[in-house]
Amino acid sequence: MTTTDAIIVEPTQEQIATVTKSRRMLPNTTVMNGPCAYLATERRRLAALQYEHFEVTQLSATIGGEIQGLDLTGPLSDEVIAEVRKALHDYKVIFWRNQPLTTDQHVAFASRFGSLETHPFLPPNTNQPELVRFAKNVNTSGYENGWHHDVTWRAEPSMGAVLHAITVPAVGGDTLFADMYAAYDGLPDDIRERVNTMTAEHDFMSAFGRLLPKGERDEMRERYPLVEHPVAPRHEATGRRYLYVNRYFTSRILGVSEAESIELIEMLSRQADYPEYQCRYRWQNDSVAFWDNRAVQHYAASDYWPEKRVMERASVIGNRPSV
């Protein structure tokens, strides 16, 4: 039987809900087990999408699309940019191969989607302050191998980020992305209802405080005070709720005890771990990724030391998350 001969089953929403409720928690854990039936609707929606200016290959059930037929090094019309934005909202993270961007071209492309931020703690490209440079080798190790949204400690965190692979190892150094809509949808009903009204505090200090000389910490705290964001905001473009908690920057959940806050942060952060919500991208030189920093978390696999891996990222300033 070929793929085109396969029988397509169209489940009803009632069937999806019934199968979803059959999921259960493994004994003595907070790990859910069973079919992720709630992914079916989004998986089918993505499979049916078509675009005017390019083609997209769906990479996993609900997240990740690789675009063919678009050259990011050349001029792009407003109509093409609008369709790229739509693909970003649809697939949450989109990818291109064979895009030998110069630093000017990288900045120019990312700027079509909004103003670019400069990162106060990470080193820039020497010619373009808007580009954060991640250069790892035998002497420099990476600490990005944990699930996170970028810069949630900002009052207005990134809307998205464009990452260009300059030099990558032959094996290793993949980046994984997790669908935080699916992570929210997969919560038990009672937890989902609770987080709808919860607020979390975010702080740069646990991730970047160790990089600062003691005398600069007070100055940076004044520039970047603690901020509060909803635990489950609504995406400003899609209207869908997503989980907005991560182990790097979420310091506490407000309105609960310290012990419960720690437990909740861990349980909610754990939702990104499910492979059913993920896609994994194997880099090649001059691959490009553009992710929605609200709809996804990402994780850079640190399995390539002592090989060389050089990436540059431009981040687009977003709005404050809200419900």
Catalytic residue ranges: 148, 150, 298, 313
User: Which ranges of the chain would DSSP assign to H, the alpha helix?
Assistant: 13-20, 40-48, 78-91, 103-111, 180-185, 189-195, 205-208, 214-223, 258-269
Phi, psi of 281 (to 5 degrees): -110, 125
Of the candidates 192, 176, 160, the one whose C-alpha atom is nearest the C-alpha of residue 268 is 192
Residue 196 structure tokens: 């709808």
Between helix 40-48 and helix 13-20 the angle, nearest 10°, is 130
Query: Residue holding tokens 């919860």?
Result: 198
How far, in Å, CA of 218 to CA of 209, rounded?
A: 10
Question: What Å distances lie between residue 92 and 25, 243, 314, CA to CA?
Answer: 28, 14, 17
In the 8-state DSSP scheme, what is residue 3? G
Contact between 149 and 294 (Cβ < 8 Å)? yes
Residue 15 structure tokens: 């069937």
